Chains A and B, each alone.
Chain A
Amino acid sequence: MVIEPLSHFHGGLVLRHHKKKSCEKETRSAGLPESLVIAIKSNRGAAPRLLVEIGDRVLKGQIIAKPEHIMGSYSHAPTSGEVIDISNLPSASPDAIPALCVTLKPDGKDQWSEPTRLKKPESRQEIIDQIRAAGIVGLGGAGFPTHIKYYQAPFSDSAGNKNSTIIINGAECEPYISCDERLMLDHPHEIIIGTQWLIKAADAADAIIAIEDNIGGVKKRLMAEIKKQEITNMTVVKVPTIYPTGGEKQLVKVLTGKEVPSDQTPYSLGVIMQNVATAKAVYDAIELHKPLIERVVTVTGDSVQDPQNYLTLIGTPFSHLLALAHCSDSVDKLIIGGPMMGYAMPNAEIGIEKTTNCLLALPEDCTKPEIAPMPCIRCGDCVKVCPQELLPQQLLWYINGNDQTNDLEKARDHHVFDCIECGACSWVCPSHINLVDFYRFAKSELVYLDTKKAKSEQAQKRFEDREARLERIKAERQAKRRSKTSKLTDKSSAKVEISAVLARIKKQTEESADE
């Protein structure tokens, strides 16, 4: 499926990597923190059902929340201990949006629950079920439940040829983050086997592992492993290190030369994309019967003295990791993810989630802009770098209300919904305008207006339906009445009709006289 030579996407940035310091050291275990704060996430409004209560003792690997919906995912206890709190707390998501969190006090025994000795899956459905049961979600950041991607598979043409591809995304293009690179160095075997299971789950033709061309040694290790396993339908491809090459749409373009249609997923091109850490989690689930209870997290940033990758239990508070890596007091921003797209956290007591790949602690001199925002001078630098080929300055113009009508619809016409919020435009803007902020605002505002409009349209429709109903009933009544009077206008039938009425009246008066 991969094209030679590789394609490229429009724009993009060359950024300083800042990865080496955290990546050159072996991954260490973050150990047991004093408490774990496990956010129970609901995907698309389908909240999972909690299976524990305050005071319950749980064992490692025990299911603590069960999805009620196909889109949901399982949560497991990362270690043994006691549930000491269940409440809504800030979570490691954008804006630290509160989520239902189970707080677990580890008992230090780290005692496993009786593992359900599943047999190796044979059918596609069995693989998907085991992936689902292990609570695996996309570990690259989006957190989309992995099993869902495979329900639609397999892809095959009428002749039964397999024609879909799994892309394992190892191109972590954001600066500072190195957990995926470290994982590929440490666990090539697990990643390759996990990928093989994914190929089976999708009944795909092949798999491509994409890595950035600036990381040394990884390709060799992965290729050696592929050779050792005698796998023929898997390749490792180096892609140019240009931000945001690890973005789903951009990576698909680079590898296949095709663009993912605007409102669709790579699935429409026969591509399923998965993060390397997800492939490793699939290995753990199927080969080791281990649910997803831990992940590798990069702890780094200029405020951190010992940048390092940590194997971290889900729910570990940030403060625990920051203490391990000797984070200084200079920190101004604590960011989940990378500096380009990550989100800043309000405090360090929030727990690591399955999607948390990096904790980035930056001091003020890294984050503070040199000048206050100026008006847009329309220099067009943002247009040059936008990987989605948008006109960021025009979007700004319309969102900012420069247009007389103050019409966000213009922003929609200029494709604001195609913005992937990569931040490249903000990063190059000489006027230091945080453009992405405007696009986030416009998107949420437009979505809000749309729902409002849909609702009022619905109400309008209901009202109109009711009106129409009443109208119809009235019309029917009138029609009936008219049909009666029309009988009267017809002479002969009128006679009959009138005599019938007279007879009735007569009868009635007689009856009343009788009484």
Chain B
Amino acid sequence: MNKTLNTSSAPHIPSRIKVQTVMLWVCLALVPATFAHLYYFGPGILIQLVLAAVSAYLFEWWCLKWRKQPIKPFITDLSALVTAWLFVLCISPIAPWYVAVVGMFFAIVVAKHLYGGLGNNIFNPAMVAFAVILIAFPQSMSLWLPPGGFMDVGAIGNQQGLTFIEQLNWIFTGHTTSHIDAITTATPLSAIQTGLQQSFSLSEIIENPIFGDFGGLGWEWIANWLFLGGAFLLYKRIITWHIPAAVLLTTIAAATPFYLFNNDVFMSPQQHVFSGGIMLAAFFIATDPTSGCSSFKGKIIFGAGVAILTVLIRNFGAFPDGVAFAVLLMNMSAPLIDRVTVPTPYGKKTKGD
């Protein structure tokens, strides 16, 4: 017992959970929704996921080198994979290849590393990427496949769908042997927007088969599975209930008055909830802790803000879905919200009592 003892300070037993583990759970939670995506929109999502993940990691590696950061701990922390995955769930599965590459450039290089890397980003990297794409390549984002069966995506009626090879070909070369223009379609949200611009009423627009029971065919199921994944994260205590509850309930609360006021131009609350990115935002995007708020009160304000802004942008804005912009706007306000929502600690609530 003559050796030098370690005198580092308490606690002396280390924590058992790692950043990696947290990220891994998030990825796992995204699996069901990804399968649903695969089922309704075909293998495009997988191609995009590989594309985005590979470019994300190349950029990550490059940035770490350039910032002279240790490569191994950061490249293995899985945070880049989460970013890529979230981004891919937002874009069209048949977007051209450069969409993912450009997206990841903005996510990893600009939004993450220029702000100081892991944990220091002010904006949610996936949403920065998505917003850039929405602005830079709007037409590629409006080009979606109509939901169909797994093997013949895009098959509606007796129309033939796209095979895996055809999708691959389209993504990388922009050419395909068959009738891509004939089968691509708008997302439900942009269908509504174009429809409204052409003065159709909402009830006429949603007769289109791409609208399912309450959100959009396929979309509503992806939303359901995202919900399930979110529930899993809640169960694993990776996230708390504050943000999802705030986002979803506020979306309903904010959409209802518009709907009641004029249901010909404003979507119903359930359509808001089950279409576009709200479900993803509620459980996976607004819950991103780095770019969000710290206190529970702050989280609720943050979530509510995302929901209100999304509904407003959807109802009045120039873009069909406003989730990305809503999140970015709230990211900007987060430090301010944090400043005014510092919780009162133990023993300071009852001062003088």
Residues of A within 8 A of B (CB): 9-10, 96, 175, 249, 253, 258-262, 264, 319, 322, 327, 329, 331-335, 339-348, 360, 362, 364, 366-372, 374-381, 383-384, 387-391, 393-394, 402, 413-415, 418, 421, 423, 426-432, 434, 436-437, 440
- Smallest CB-CB separation from B341: which chain A residue? A391
Give the contact stretch, choosing among B86-94, B288-296, B305-313.
Answer: B288-296
Please measure, in the bound complex, the distance between the C-alpha atom of A359 and the C-alpha atom of B343, giving whole angstroms: 37
- Smallest CB-CB separation from B338: which chain A residue? A394
The answer to whether B120 has its CB under 8 Å from any CB of chain A is yes
Please measure, in the bound complex, the distance between the C-alpha atom of A258 and the C-alpha atom of B349, giving whole angstroms: 10
Residues of B within 8 A of A175 (CB): 13
Q: Are A332 and B5 in contact (CB under 8 A)?
A: yes
B18 CB contact (under 8 Å) in A388, A393, A432: A432
A394 CB contact (under 8 Å) in B16, B240, B292, B294: B294
A378-B294, A389-B346 known, 13 other contacts, Cβ within 8 Å: A259-B349, A329-B1, A340-B12, A341-B11, A342-B12, A346-B4, A360-B12, A367-B14, A383-B295, A384-B237, A387-B346, A391-B295, A426-B15
Q: List 23 A-B residue pairs with CB atoms under 8 Å apart, sorted by A's residue number.
A: A96-B7, A249-B347, A260-B346, A261-B353, A331-B5, A339-B10, A339-B13, A340-B10, A344-B7, A346-B4, A346-B5, A366-B12, A366-B13, A370-B16, A377-B289, A377-B290, A387-B346, A388-B345, A389-B343, A415-B342, A427-B15, A430-B18, A432-B14
Q: Are B18 and A436 in contact (CB under 8 A)?
A: no
Known: A334-B5, A430-B21. A261 touches B352 (CB 8 A): yes
Interface of B is mostly: loop
B10 CB contact (under 8 Å) in A253, A264, A342, A430: A342
Please measure, in the bound complex, the distance between the C-alpha atom of A434 and the C-alpha atom of B5, giving whole angstroms: 19
The answer to whether B31 has its CB under 8 Å from any CB of chain A is no
Known: A374-B77, A377-B118, A378-B119. A389 touches B344 (CB 8 A): yes
Residues of A within 8 A of B13 (CB): 175, 339-340, 362, 366-367, 427
Interface of A is mostly: loop
Residues of B within 8 A of A364 (CB): 6
Please measure, in the bound complex, the distance between the C-alpha atom of A138 and the C-alpha atom of B80, giving whole angstroms: 52
B240 CB contact (under 8 Å) in A260, A377, A384, A430: A384
- Smallest CB-CB separation from B77: which chain A residue? A374
Residues of A within 8 A of B292 (CB): 378
**Nearest Cβ in chain B — how far from A250, in angstroms?**
8
The answer to whether B177 has its CB under 8 Å from any CB of chain A is no
Please measure, in the bound complex, the distance between the C-alpha atom of A393 and the C-alpha atom of B343, giving whole angstroms: 13
**Nearest Cβ in chain A — how far from B64, in angstroms?**
12
List residues of B (141-171) whose CB comes within 8 Å of A's CBs. Answer: none
Q: Are B350 and A261 in contact (CB under 8 A)?
A: yes
Residues of A within 8 A of B347 (CB): 249, 259-262, 264, 388, 418
Most buried by A among B13, B237, B349: B13
**Nearest Cβ in chain B — how far from A258, in angstroms?**
7
Q: Are B294 and A391 in contact (CB under 8 A)?
A: yes
The answer to whether B71 has its CB under 8 Å from any CB of chain A is no
Q: Are B350 and A258 in contact (CB under 8 A)?
A: yes
Give a binary string over B281-323; 1 marks a CB under 8 Å from any A CB, 0 the rest: 0000000011010111000000000000000000000000000
The answer to whether B228 has its CB under 8 Å from any CB of chain A is no
Q: Are A345 and B9 in contact (CB under 8 A)?
A: no
The answer to whether B32 has its CB under 8 Å from any CB of chain A is no
The answer to whether B117 has its CB under 8 Å from any CB of chain A is yes
Most buried by B among A340, A381, A437: A381
List residues of B (76-106) whose CB comes within 8 Å of A's CBs. Answer: 77, 79
Q: Are B14 and A370 in contact (CB under 8 A)?
A: yes
B11 CB contact (under 8 Å) in A319, A332, A379, A423: A423
The answer to whether B17 has its CB under 8 Å from any CB of chain A is yes
Please measure, in the bound complex, the distance between the C-alpha atom of A264 and the C-alpha atom of B347, giving whole angstroms: 9
- Smallest CB-CB separation from B238: which chain A residue? A379
Q: Are B350 and A346 in contact (CB under 8 A)?
A: no
Interface size class of B (residues with CB under 8 A): 35 or more
Known: A260-B347, A344-B6, A388-B346. A375 touches B289 (CB 8 A): no
Residues of A within 8 A of B6 (CB): 332-333, 344, 364, 367
**Nearest Cβ in chain A — how far from B70, in angstroms?**
8
Residues of B within 8 A of A421 (CB): 10
B119 CB contact (under 8 Å) in A345, A366, A377, A436: A377
The list of the 3 closest CB pairs from A to B, nearest first, reads A423-B11, A369-B14, A375-B119
A431 CB contact (under 8 Å) in B10, B12, B119, B295: B119
Please measure, in the bound complex, the distance between the C-alpha atom of A394 and the C-alpha atom of B343, giving whole angstroms: 11
Q: Are A383 and B294 in contact (CB under 8 A)?
A: yes
Q: Are A344 and B14 in contact (CB under 8 A)?
A: no
- Smallest CB-CB separation from B291: which chain A residue? A378
A344 CB contact (under 8 Å) in B8, B74, B342: B8
Please measure, in the bound complex, the distance between the C-alpha atom of A429 and the C-alpha atom of B18, giving whole angstroms: 8
Q: Are B119 and A434 in contact (CB under 8 A)?
A: no
**Nearest Cβ in chain A — how far from B281, in angstroms?**
18
Residues of A within 8 A of B9 (CB): 343-344, 434, 436-437, 440
Q: Are B5 and A391 in contact (CB under 8 A)?
A: no
**Nearest Cβ in chain A — how far from B178, in angstroms?**
45
Known: A378-B294, A380-B294, A391-B295. A9 touches B346 (CB 8 A): yes
Please measure, in the bound complex, the distance between the C-alpha atom of A510 and the C-alpha atom of B113, giving whole angstroms: 99
Q: Are A345 and B7 in contact (CB under 8 A)?
A: yes
The answer to whether B348 has its CB under 8 Å from any CB of chain A is yes
Known: A369-B15, A430-B22. A374 touches B118 (CB 8 A): yes
List residues of B (1-44) whose CB comes within 8 Å of A's CBs. Answer: 1, 3-19, 21-22
**Nearest Cβ in chain B — how far from A274, in angstroms?**
20
Most buried by B among A347, A390, A426, A430: A430
B1 CB contact (under 8 Å) in A264, A327, A360, A394: A327
Please measure, in the bound complex, the distance between the C-alpha atom of A421 and the C-alpha atom of B292, giving whole angstroms: 26
Q: Are B19 and A431 in contact (CB under 8 A)?
A: yes
- Smallest CB-CB separation from A335: which chain B residue? B12
Please measure, in the bound complex, the distance between the C-alpha atom of A264 and the C-alpha atom of B348, giving whole angstroms: 10
Q: Are A375 and B21 in contact (CB under 8 A)?
A: no
**Nearest Cβ in chain B — how far from A97, in angstroms?**
12
- Smallest CB-CB separation from B19: which chain A residue? A430
Please measure, in the bound complex, the distance between the C-alpha atom of A378 and the C-alpha atom of B120, giving whole angstroms: 9
**Nearest Cβ in chain A — how far from B352, in angstroms?**
7
The answer to whether B68 has its CB under 8 Å from any CB of chain A is no
- Smallest CB-CB separation from B350: which chain A residue? A259
Give a binary string over B326-346; 1 marks a CB under 8 Å from any A CB, 0 the rest: 000000000000100011111
**Nearest Cβ in chain A — how far from B309, in angstroms?**
22
Give a binary string over B261-290; 1 marks a CB under 8 Å from any A CB, 0 the rest: 000000000000000000000000000011
Q: Are A378 and B289 in contact (CB under 8 A)?
A: yes
Q: Are A261 and B117 in contact (CB under 8 A)?
A: no
Q: Are A414 and B12 in contact (CB under 8 A)?
A: no
Q: Are B1 and A348 in contact (CB under 8 A)?
A: yes
Please measure, in the bound complex, the distance between the C-alpha atom of A253 and the C-alpha atom of B347, giving whole angstroms: 10
Please measure, in the bound complex, the distance between the C-alpha atom of A249 and the C-alpha atom of B11, giving whole angstroms: 20
Please measure, in the bound complex, the distance between the C-alpha atom of A356 and the C-alpha atom of B10, giving whole angstroms: 16
Residues of B within 8 A of A340 (CB): 10-13
Known: A262-B347, A327-B1, A387-B346. A428 touches B10 (CB 8 A): no
**Nearest Cβ in chain A — how far from B76, in angstroms?**
9
Please measure, in the bound complex, the distance between the C-alpha atom of A318 and the C-alpha atom of B20, giving whole angstroms: 40
Residues of A within 8 A of B353 (CB): 261
Most buried by B among A253, A343, A380: A380
**Nearest Cβ in chain B — how far from A375, in angstroms?**
4
- Smallest CB-CB separation from A392: which chain B residue? B294
Residues of A within 8 A of B237 (CB): 381, 384
Q: Are B345 and A429 in contact (CB under 8 A)?
A: no
